[in-house]
Amino acid sequence: MRDIYLWWIGADAADGRLLAAVRSVVERTFGRGVHVWSGRDRPADAFDPRRQQHSSTRILQWLVDRRPAEAHKVLALTDVDLFIPILTFVFGEAQLDGAAAIVSTARLRTNHGSSNVRLLTTRLAKECVHELGHTFGLLHCDTPGCVMTRSVNLIEVDAKRTTLCGACEARYRELREKDGHHEQGTHPHPRR
């Protein structure tokens, strides 16, 4: 089964410890290998000068085009502020049941001071698991505390855990099984 690629595409240099922390949470949650990929390309046409933000949807398309061929999923991390047209900002975006996800640290930094690295790391890990969950086909969940609950502000991000609830976990296993068969090409035409 192919792996997840974690790709820093931020404006500033990557924070190795932050990436390592995200990597270990993602590996634990999804039971898949995560490679930290250090491609130096950056999306060129995602910046919107009027909004002074980057279009997350354009970045997702760029990721699909540029991801390493062996990557099953690519999760990009950035420090630039992201938006989709109908919202002021987004923490991240993912292709549902697709290959790409993006999460930004821009809105996860706190008013508790930028030195609160642990809080930033936890929030980032939650948003990364959430967006990757979408790429595996998981939808939003209503179970309080589940990482797949929708969160539109930091209070909601802080209120959830980094982990999937029992139902989402079961759904993920189910989806992964199908995905695995598909990937290995052993059941090109599933028989009943």
Query: Which of the stretches 38-46, 73-81, 102-110, 148-156 binds Zn ion when contact is defined by CB under 5 A?
Result: 148-156
Q: HSE-up of 192 (CA within 13 Å, CB side)?
A: 0
**Among residues 59, 165, 171, 172, which is the contact residue for Zn ion, using CB under 5 A?**
165
Nearer to Zn ion, 128 or 165 (CB): 165
Nearer to Zn ion, 15 or 124 (CB): 124
Query: Which of the stretches 8-16, 119-127, 163-171, 182-190 binds Zn ion when contact is defined by CB under 5 A?
Result: 163-171
80 binds Zn ion (CB under 5 A): no
The string of DSSP codes covering 101-153 is EEEESTTTS-SS-TT-HHHHHHHHHHHHHHHHHHHTT-----STT-TTS---S
Neighbour count for residue 167 (Cβ, 10 Å): 14
Total number of residues binding Zn ion (CB under 5 A)? Answer: 6
141 binds Zn ion (CB under 5 A): yes
138 binds Zn ion (CB under 5 A): no
What are the strands of the beta sheet with 100-104, ordered from one edge?
34-37, 3-8, 71-78, 100-104, 92-94
102 binds Zn ion (CB under 5 A): no
Could you give phi then psi for residue 131, rounded to 5 degrees? -65, -40
Q: Which of the residues are catalytic? A: 131
Residues contributing to the site for Zn ion (CB under 5 A): 141, 143, 146, 148, 165, 168
